[in-house]
Structure 1
């Protein structure tokens, strides 16, 4: 070793006071350090307990004779250490050191660079710095702002346990590193950020933020993660922004806490290739403020036991893998409007304390006969639930508790779906207006039944039942059908025959149910025209399915409500007179058919009318006076029936009436009175009508 090198070592080992006495300034110290960096041995490059003044190695290229690491242990840098634009080709380690400030803007470190368990009191400027190999800052405290904007970290990077007391910026920084599942190439595990942490547009491979804490706002906007991002146990006390983030690996936020607003809008969370790990893991994560995943595209998501303390928005997001929100807790409004679920979805045991909306959501999972692809079993909805225009492959709502209105208006269920809802209040009401349910089951619970409205809905092979068999006799009290289609799906018919027992007891009424709301609002007015259409569709569907008794009974109901429609038109003063008269005639005709033969469905009634009608003119013939006189003579009073002759006269008049009615012929008997002749002709006319009605009833009866 040369004498110059010994002098340089002595300069570096002097205290500030000793250097002052010898007239040595900061430039002398800098020159001595540069000489040692370039030509020193391994032992000479180790500095312990040294104190350095402000030094500038800016824009220098330091290429050593031998690439031994330079180690500063327990050293103090009393002035700023300026490494701006420096090109250093050896490992550097600072251990338990204290810095006044550190400026490495544009510096180029070709070997390992490490600042361990140290403290930097002033600002750190690493703008556009390049760390070709490992860069490590574990357990280091940064008391002033830190700027690593556009810095490049070429290999493993560690800020584990680091403490950032002021703003920390890594905007557009690049953490290249090697993708290594066992040793993340960028790690901030246990780090704490007392102010803002900015990683906007940063690029990561695998990164580890486990148990890190950010007290200020955190921004990862437009950041790109080429590998896994492990943020489990992380705490965000301020707002957290992950908008338009791209993660090619798995994103782990298990047990993370978000104290204020969290935003994941427009993200691409693609998930790794490992099928046994969650692509996005939110298990037991806590979102105390509003959170949005709106317009994001994700693979699989596991949010089991997650807590959403404020509004949670998943609007227009698309999940291409399995999604679990099992036992999740939504304290605020939950929005899944226009969300797309391409695989299985589970909200089993989830709790929604405020309104929830799945308007226009699509549950596209594959058909599964054993288990539905969209499951809400045992979930609890304490406010309104809106599934308007949602579409399901197959859904399950077994044991789901609803406290308010459930709106399935215009929703679609393509395969077998199951509903067994558990109302928690008397206001529970399920609106299936315009919905389409191809097949499935709707089961009423053991108590506190739910009301279902199927106005304008399309039902296929949907089974209605109750948990308690004895309750089935009142089952349809809680189902309302109006303008409902029952045969839209080929091969999937609604089975009215399964409910004939109830329908017989309830006069085959479909369009009403046990209404629990004081001012119900329906999609169509409950006027005779819509009610008539309801029974026409029910009759057509039942007839096509070969369910003839229901078809006949619904035909009767249709005619009854058609008569009310005709009467309303006839009473409408704004309608022209011809139309009013035409509908008045229809109403009379309808009433006559209903009264006589029940529109063909009351055979016993028309047979009875046919058999007994001649008794009416027979009484007129027997007691009506000269105008009703026939060849059978008459009785002057009812008292004459006490005599044999009186009874014989009554019999003759009855005989005359029946042979006239049946057009058998008079023989020795004929009408002589003017009204008798008229009434005899009327009997023949009525016989034609009633005979036709009997035949009509026989035909309809044979169809049942």
Structure 2
């Protein structure tokens, strides 16, 4: 290096020392170290300028030994190291602990010596595009101005534990290749670390970067920043915390952190185990599109938000999780999990959602546990998929003990097996179109009012639906597909009124092979309630909006499907009773056509015939279900003709004779009545012995009609007996 006329050095490398003019290098450092150790006032008295101080500093750095570089407590003016390569005769650090430095600038510089700034006070620090190859140790330091380190490379450890940064802290696009510590540091100005890289020393420790207990009093911007193993436990973010598209390749710990402003983790990627336990999000939190991949189950969970509080809106739309827990989390704002994907177990046990919780089209590929969750507002799980598979829980989805204070929407949800035992509902309960491919265990109670579960178009293969001891809810199974599902009541005595709270309307009972619904256990109720299943007991002021209008055709189809279900399980008694109900509504359907003035005349005539036939079969043999009735009719039918033959006069006269009504009870009258009755039975049974016959024209017609009636009634009797034998 060349000395200037004023004693200054020209720009160049501060490298290995050359030979000194007199004595060894150490002998020539006395004046330099003395200059550095003078106070600013003493320098002024001696006429020592800032440039001379700077050159003395460079001399000590270049040529000094450990003692010479011990500059603790010195007061220095602005130090300019821009574009210099700073290296010394040995590896001893430049010790500036407790020093006061007006400012420090090393733009485009290469620093190959460790620097200690513990408890030092520095004004502006500028390290843009510098290469810092050794450690910077500055625990407890205070930077009163701005720290700028754009695209700076830090190859050694960087320690600012307990440091204070009063101005802007800018490390955009910088690289920290070794361990970084800002534990308990205070950042009073904004922090800018966009696209920086904090990767530590080849992951030898599990805390390559640590901001534990740090206080960010303004905005903190870590967008697109890369981290290795990172700690932000107990950190406080007073302004906006922006981690958009940040990458955490190692474990990331934010436990007990406080985000007082907006916390933005949009599209962030967490490839290690991640902790957000006991965190307070005082403002909105955005994790849209974030990915939590975890690391080979190093923790019980790949990511935990246990016991955290989201005071504002929480947005996890399109986020992707492995094993995650939100146990006992308090969501006070609107919560969004639309189209989120849970590739491993998801636990929400004891969580509380004070505002709307939206899991629309979320995907749960292993067990999902919502036990004891409180939904104070609307909960939406439309189109969500709960496919299970891990079998860690007995059920792939459980809401056991959950409390839905408002509407619960599971429309079109796909669920393998589910547990809703001891679940309370306070609003509309929509499971319309939901599919339970294996089983369901459902025990719901109503919080208040008149809750009812909408299972319209749902598909339930197996399981159990239980009514609790009190606060029963109603179940609408219109157009649903019901398999081997047991309907039970907790209290044994309540079983007799169970079907008052279930409504079947065009419900499929035989869709799932080997899993047909069985009405056999409800015979007592059905017998008492005339085998009605298409309506449930309504409170006086209820006006539910049913899926289908209760037309005779709809009700007829309902009982046809119920009959097929009973026949499929071999219960012909129940099948027959449902067949009778179906015929009743079939007759009503035909009469509707008869009353329809817009229908074609022939159509109306045909339907009138069908209705008449239906009515006749119902009255005579109960559509095959009343053999005793048709038996009595078959035996007693000839007696209906006796009054006409006995008292009708000439046109009704038979060979058995006639009599007056007054003489009917006399011996001769009774004998005549017996002969008339005998004639009627002979005609009815077509025995025709020949000594008794009709004499009047009308008597001949009646005798012939008796023969026809006997054929009809005997056929109906055989039909009813056969149907009865099938039961």
TM-score (ref. length: structure 2) = 0.94
- Note the 1:173-188 alignment, pairs <5 A: 173-178=196-201, 180=203, 183-188=206-211
Structure 2 counterpart of 1:32, from 56, 62, 67: 56
Return the match for 2:41 from 11, 14, 17.
17
1:332 aligns with 2:355: yes
Partner residue of 1:606 out of 607, 623, 630: 630
Query: 1:507-518 counterparts in 2 under 5 A?
Result: 507-516=530-539, 518=542
Alignment map for 1:301-380 (pairs within 5 Å): 301-366=324-389, 371-380=394-403
| Cα distance between partner residues in 2 of 1:178 and 1:340 | 38
Aligned equivalent of 2:415: 392
1:258-315 deviation per Cα after TM superposition (whole angstroms, max 9, x unaligned): 0111011111110111255211101101001110111111101111111100111111
- In 2, the alpha carbon distance for the partners of 1:573 and 1:243 equals 66
Structure 2 partner of 1:628 = 652
Task: Tell me the distance in 1 between the aligned counterparts of 2:61 and 2:383.
Answer: 67
State the distance in 2 between where 1:550 and 1:359 align.
Answer: 37
Q: Distance in 1 between matches of 2:241 and 2:706?
A: 97
Verify: 1:269 aligned to 2:292, yes or no.
yes
Q: In structure 2, how many angstroms separate the alpha carbons of the residues matched to 1:369 and 1:683?
A: 75
Listed one character per residue, the Cα deviations across residues 535-555 of structure 1 (whole Å, up to 9, x for unaligned) are 111111221221111111111
Instruction: Report how many aligned residue pairs link the two structures.
Output: 702
1:386, distance to aligned residue in structure 2 (A):
0.6
1:3 CA displacement: 4.6
Separation in structure 1 between the aligned mates of residue 632 and residue 449 of structure 2, nearest angstrom = 47
Question: Over residues 46-97 of structure 1, what are the superposed CA-to-partner deviations in whole Å (9 max), with x where a residue is unaligned?
Answer: 212211112211111012110101111221112x211111110011110111
The verdict on how the C-alpha distance between 1:533 and 1:260 changes in structure 2, with shifts beyond 3 A counting, is: same
Name the residue aligned to 1:61. Answer: 85
> Is the contact between residue 355 and residue 383 of structure 1 (CA under 8 Å) also seen in structure 2?
yes
Aligned match of 1:478: 501
Among 286, 299, 312, which residue is 1:289 paired with?
312
| Kept in 2: contact 1:660–1:666 (CA 8 A) | no
Matching of residues 223-234 of structure 1 within 5 Å: 223-234=246-257
Question: What is the CA–CA distance in structure 1 between the aligned matches of 2:391 and 2:524, rounded to whole Å?
Answer: 33
CA distance in 1, matches of 2:274, 2:643: 95
Cα gap change, 1:612 to 1:236, in 2 (>3 Å)? same
Would the aligned equivalents of 1:429 and 1:451 in 2 still touch at CA under 8 Å?
yes
Deviation at 1:641, TM superposition (A): 2.8
For 1:169-208, what aligned pairs fall within 5 Å after superposition?
169-178=192-201, 180=203, 183-208=206-231
RMSD: 1.5
1:625 Cα deviation after fit = 2.6
Q: 1:115 matched to which residue of 2?
A: 138
Does residue 142 of structure 1 match 2:195?
no
Q: Distance in 2 between matches of 1:369 and 1:28?
A: 73
Contact 1:264 1:293 in 2 (8 A): yes
What is the match of residue 500 of structure 1?
523
1:370 deviates by 7.8
User: Partners of 1:413 and 1:319 in 2: how far apart?
Assistant: 19
Distance 1:338 1:612, change over 3 A: same
- Cα 1:178–1:509 change in 2 (3 A) is farther
Q: 572, 577, 581: which is aligned to 1:548? A: 572
SS of equivalent residue, structure 1 residue 613: helix
**Which runs of 5 or more residues in structure 2 are unaligned?**
1-24
- Structure 2 Cα separation of the partners of residues 315 and 608 of structure 1: 68
- Is contact 1:405–1:427 with CA below 8 Å preserved after alignment? no
1:643: which partner in 2?
Answer: 666
Relative distance call for 1:136 and 1:2 in structure 2 (3 A) is closer
State the match for 1:536 in structure 2: 560
| 1:19-46, Cα deviation, whole Å (9 max, x unpaired) | 2233322221111111111111111112
Query: 1:87/1:295 Cα in 2 relative to 1: closer, same or farther (>3 Å)?
Result: same
TM-score norm. by structure 1 comes to: 0.98
Contact 2:206 2:251 in 1 (8 A): no
Instruction: Tell me the CA shift for residue 104 of structure 1.
Output: 1.1
Report the CA distance between 1:689 and its aligned residue.
1.3
